[in-house]
Amino acid sequence: MLADSWGEGIDCCKWEGVMCDNKEGNVVGLDLSCSGLNGSLQSNSDLFSLQNLRWLILAGNDFDNSEIPYESSKFRSLNISQSLCHGIH
pTM: 0.71
* pLDDT tens digits, 12-23: 898 889 999 999
For the chain, what are the domain ranges? 42-89
Per the DSSP assignment, residues forming a β-bridge with 86 are: 67
Q: Within its chain, how far is the Cα of 18 from the centroid?
A: 9
Whole-angstrom distance, CA of residue 9 vs CA of residue 58: 25
What integer is the mean pLDDT of 56-64? 83
Percentage of the residues of the chain whose pLDDT score is greater than 90: 12
* Amino acid (one-letter) located at 40: S
Residue pair 52/40 in contact (Cβ under 8 Å)? The answer is no
